[in-house]
Structure 1
Amino acid sequence: MTAGKKAEYSNLAKTYRDHAEKEKRILLVISVFRFLTFAGGLIIVWLSFTLSKYYGFAVLLFVSGIFIYLLKIYSDHLARQQYLSDLELINLNEVRASEGDYSVFGDGSSFGLKSHDFSYDTDLFGQGSLFQFLNRTCTGYGSEVLAGWLADPYILAPFLKSRQQTISELAAKLTWRQSFLATGINKDLNSRNIKGLTKWLSEETEISSYGFKKVILWIFPLLACVSLLLTSIGSLHYSVFILIFLVNLLIILLNLKNTQSIHGELSGRYNFLSSLGSLLELIENEQFESPLIGKIKEDIKVSRLSAVRALKQLSNIIRAFDSRLNLIVGFVLNGLLLWDLHCIRKIESWKADYRGHFPGWLDLLGQTDAFISLGNYSYNNPEFVFPELADDKAPFRAKQLGHPLIAHDTRVCNDFSIPSKGRICIITGANMAGKSTFLRSVAVNMILAMAGAPVCAAEMKFMPVRLFTSMRTTDSLASNESYFYAELKRLRQLEQKILSGEDILFILDEILKGTNSEDKNVGSRLFLNRIISLGGTGLIAAHDTSLGSLEAEHPGVIINKCIEIEIDGEIIRFDFKLRDGIASKKNAVLLMKQMGIIP
């Protein structure tokens, strides 16, 4: 991220902080008015009742109206103040990101698998990962979608151009992106809540199965209201009303277990659903030019009601259902109207209309949330470019390729290409020369490219392929698996994938580390010869410079590259630049001396 972006985010954070402080002052003024209205209103109402009960009731209604209005505007300003504070936080987080601190963003550790084709080796998930670098999602579903894109970007390749258009368009919508994040941040829109709601939506409830219960729902509340009216005008003895009231409470009691089960699933979900609806409303109300995000917007609407109105409808039903939590209100409403059962009836009706649409709405919301993260990444790195598909079918070609997670002022970039399928690049170099970082630069930029995102390069052309790496093999005591055996399994996996005809770009780092030098040399050559015979395409980093002789054995297939070091007495200089040829310098003994390991 450039210094200009950091300054922009700092200025935005200050602006939103100033606006939030203004809202706090407004809230204080409203609080004072509320107190004066309450205290003064009590006195005025009391004095009014001493004059006339009709006058007293009129004044009571007037004062109550003013107090309720003050409550409403207080609530509105409180929400506004929280929204502005969230916008300030979003921009402060970007300032921290510009300084290399991404700890405030989810790292996606739960998505990581050591057995995955490339995620473990490329630091795709976990602390300091590509996912954490990109992730700005405010919903659990958005995090899952983003993780899925990064873990299997090859399947996105057919939509490359439309994804690039969407990311480019969202990058330019800074205000809208931040408004979306501020609406969803700190709203508990996590996967657990979302999955719990979708599970409940798929279930049937007992009340929808029996027709006679539907009749009871209307007859007994009607009897209670009519008897109350007749009792109040003296046409019916109050005992009849009380009897019907108690019967209604008995009906509620008989259904209490089922009611509590349903309410337990939905209680407190009002804010959750309200936030979900607000996010969808932001999408629905925004104008988009990209066909992909435009299609998402259109799909959020349904024939009879939009997703926004449908979710607001459900959240209002749940808020009404939550009235039962107030013992007095719940007692009165259930005794008169069978309130709980009517709320369940409305919920069941909503489920019947929209249960089939809800998972789709969540998917569309998750996609938008994930696209916003990639749009934010594009905006923060204007020097990065959108890659193009190679006209000549070259698997990979890039100018000034670097690793996006390395800070701009310390990043070393290199030109690199694999001109055709069936070519293998062997990269040799001393310890700490930068071979592994370069391999990860290629892998990470391939992932970003296939996902439709900008890459850390001045120019890049590529062909979508499935990525496979073996760079960080580990042993397993639980599986009774040695380090060397685990590595062999990984190499066999690669061989089988190429043999099966999969379009693979492999990236290997120092294979067969778990055996002696002679055995390693022979085994590495035999393995590479096998991969060459299968037409494999990829990169391999090695300390073993003798592997470079394979270029003479396989002209037009092997490409030798190296990252050299400079040794001046006991001073070692690293420039991390990729060169043609085979490395000629070693540094292991000198590094051990410098660290005091050996004299």
Structure 2
Amino acid sequence: MTSTQVACGALLLFVFALVWSMVRENNKRKKKFLEKIKKSWGAVPTREYSWDELEQISAYHKAQPKNSFVIDEITWNDLDMDRIFMLMNQTVSSAGEDYLYAMLHRPEFSEERLKERERLFCFFEKEEKTRICCQQILTTLRKPRGLSLYQSIHVEKDCQVGSPIREILSCVLFFASLVAFMVVPAYGVFAFLAVSGINIITYLKGKEEINRYLGGFRSVMQLIGCADALEKAGISELSEYIKRLKDCKKALGSFRKGSFLVVNHDGMETGPEAVMLDYIRMMTHIDLIKFNSMMKAMREHQKEIEEMIEIFGLLDACISIASFRELLPYYCSPEFDSDKKRAVLDVENLYHPLILEPVANSIKTTQAVLVTGSNASGKSTFLKMVAINAILAQTIHTCMATECKMSYFRVMTSMALRDDLESKESYYIVEIKSLKRILDSAKEETPLLCIVDEVLRGTNTIERIAASSEILASLCLPHVLSFAATHDIELTYMLEEYYTNYHFEEEVKEDDVKFNYLLKKGRVTTRNAIRLLKMTGYDDSIVEASKNAVVRFEQEGSWKKVGEN
């Protein structure tokens, strides 16, 4: 056996070992992924999010055109919707989590779009093999470092595409020096080494300039690869989406051709094949040459790229929502009242999705609702529960109730407000601005569900009651459904022609207060604030003096000076 044969055999053995190792690692990754997604189905997500991560995820939502109603930041924060998003986010791609976050901000007013989402939810719930197949495809849409997928494809906007002549010349010189080395080795080697050195130095400089854009290129190639895989899977129930993806791929043909010279499609930057390709790039500058044409194609076809993100985002989000439904103790698909001139809400056994052991309540109303009750009795939770379910009904077509019939609502709240330190505005100024935006929105004709907790709590009692009664009364319009909570019992009498009174009450024992969190008709008749002072160890003199002051006020209608007998 000659030395050449031995060398060839060793080379073949090395290649075989390399391929076997790559296949083995790939199979291990697939197995691990399958175990992960099966385990996560219908389970509570464990992922934690930083503020920066949520900012990245929200970029897609913020970039969407605001030509329809969008849940504003005050309402989003009042209802703790970030936690709702985290509870249902089992997406496996950046496109999926971006789309889900945007979906929760945009209630639908179209029965057709909601029915299509419902179809996808049910399909992915029933077809486990197809669902897992789609998740395996979607997981290849890896999140670029420090950016969301959507952000990565828009980094190119500030890139100045120059002439590739310098890179073409570098490539020609390299091959010329290689030919010289092969023809005249003794002298050609010096030319080869010199050209290689110069090419490497100039390459590293050029590569540094384009590196920030390669994440976007890689994201687009992953989108195209996903489209290929979904088309190959041949899922008839997704034929409409596959057709749209096919049209997008066709438009991006020039971008795709030869793209492997610039980016690794799988997003992995390590491995023998990646290292070898990197050396070829450094010597020939071939990726710098191709970069210019890819950047041009990417700019010309932003619409198609964004459509692909939308399609994959929708599919991934729908799988995640189907999983979220499995987590719930029970839910229903809402029935919508299409009459735009009136506001209606009829729910049975409604509960809050963020509470571990929630107490369900039912309510049927076309009239405004005023809720009273003592501290910690459940007023604010009930109001949030109503608003959250109204949003989820129109976004993920899911209501945490046994039955739900409602109008297509715009949802606005004024609840968990605080001083604005940046603009140096007091709590009261922040509060009246928050209420003003609801009053302005009520002038529009589309049904509005507005939730107000403790109206004008930031000012004195007399002016609060006077102004609150007028503000709440002005919200009583046929197309507006107003839910408000208050400690001011006076309002229940002043507004009884406009608002239906409901309340929460508690059971007070010697050293304990127990709440059942059940909504009851009528105004509240119990108080617990002074009793709670006693239970938490306040001095008896303070407690007794407080009780006596209340009794005198109820009998005489006036307050005595502190210290008077």
Q: CA RMSD in A?
A: 4.1
Corresponding pairs, count = 518
The match for 1:203 among 159, 184, 187 is: 159
In structure 1, list runs of 5 or more residues that go unmatched.
1-47, 49-54, 232-236
Instruction: After TM superposition, give the deviation of residue 570 of structure 1 in Å.
Output: 4.8
The match for 1:559 among 479, 496, 500 is: 500
Instruction: After TM superposition, give the deviation of residue 468 of structure 1 in Å.
Output: 0.7
Instruction: After TM superposition, give the deviation of residue 490 of structure 1 in Å.
Output: 1.1
Question: Which residue does the alignment assign to 2:316?
Answer: 369
Give the Cα–Cα distance (whole angstroms) in 2 for the partners of residues 467 and 285 of structure 1. Answer: 42
Output the amino acid matched with 1:166: L
Instruction: After TM superposition, give the deviation of residue 397 of structure 1 in Å.
Output: 1.5
2:382 is the counterpart of 1:429: no
Give the Cα–Cα distance (whole angstroms) in 1 for the partners of residues 449 and 457 of structure 2. Answer: 21
Deviates more, 1:55-64 or 1:82-91: 82-91
The answer to whether the Cα contact below 8 Å between 1:87 and 1:179 also exists between their aligned partners in 2 is no
Instruction: After TM superposition, give the deviation of residue 388 of structure 1 in Å.
Output: 1.8
Mapping for residues 91-490 of structure 1, pairs under 5 Å: 91=38, 97=44, 102-104=46-48, 109-110=54-55, 111=58, 116-125=73-82, 129-154=83-108, 159-178=113-132, 184=139, 187-189=142-144, 192=147, 194=149, 195-200=151-156, 203-208=159-164, 210=165, 214=168, 216=169, 220=173, 223-224=176-177, 226-231=179-184, 238-239=186-187, 242-243=190-191, 246-247=194-195, 250=198, 253=201, 257-263=205-211, 265-266=213-214, 279-288=226-235, 294-302=239-247, 305=250, 314-315=259-260, 317-319=262-264, 333=280, 339-353=283-297, 355=299, 356=301, 357-381=304-328, 383-390=330-337, 394-407=343-356, 410-419=357-366, 423-490=367-434
Give the Cα–Cα distance (whole angstroms) in 1 for the partners of residues 491 and 190 of structure 2. Answer: 95
Q: Output the TM-score relative to the length of structure 2.
A: 0.78
Alpha-carbon distance change, 241 to 331 in structure 1, aligned in 2, over 3 angstroms: farther
Deviates more, 1:464-473 or 1:65-74: 65-74
2:469 is the counterpart of 1:525: yes
- Aligned-partner SS, 2:463: helix
Question: Which residue does the alignment assign to 1:21?
Answer: none
Instruction: After TM superposition, give the deviation of residue 504 of structure 1 in Å.
Output: 1.9
- Aligned-partner SS, 2:476: helix
Give the Cα–Cα distance (whole angstroms) in 1 for the partners of residues 274 and 229 of structure 2. Answer: 37
Instruction: After TM superposition, give the deviation of residue 268 of structure 1 in Å.
Output: 12
- Aligned-partner SS, 1:576: coil
The answer to whether the Cα contact below 8 Å between 1:398 and 1:461 also exists between their aligned partners in 2 is yes
1:554-578 CA-to-partner distances (Å, cap 9, x unmatched) read 3xx4222222323345543322122
Give the Cα–Cα distance (whole angstroms) in 2 for the partners of residues 294 and 180 of structure 1. Answer: 13
Instruction: After TM superposition, give the deviation of residue 449 of structure 1 in Å.
Output: 0.8
1:192-247 CA-to-partner distances (Å, cap 9, x unmatched) read 16334542387353234x5x975x4775455445444544xxxxx74357447645
Instruction: After TM superposition, give the deviation of residue 188 of structure 1 in Å.
Output: 4.0
Give the % identical residues.
21
Output the amino acid matched with 2:417: T
The answer to whether the Cα contact below 8 Å between 1:139 and 1:190 also exists between their aligned partners in 2 is no
Question: Which residue does the alignment assign to 1:499?
Answer: 443
Instruction: After TM superposition, give the deviation of residue 386 of structure 1 in Å.
Output: 1.3
The answer to whether the Cα contact below 8 Å between 1:150 and 1:448 also exists between their aligned partners in 2 is yes
Output the amino acid matched with 1:520: R
The match for 1:573 among 514, 523, 529 is: 514
In structure 2, list runs of 5 or more residues that go unmatched.
63-70, 541-565
Give the Cα–Cα distance (whole angstroms) in 1 for the partners of residues 202 and 104 of structure 2. Answer: 51
Give the Cα–Cα distance (whole angstroms) in 2 for the partners of residues 462 and 505 of structure 1. Answer: 10
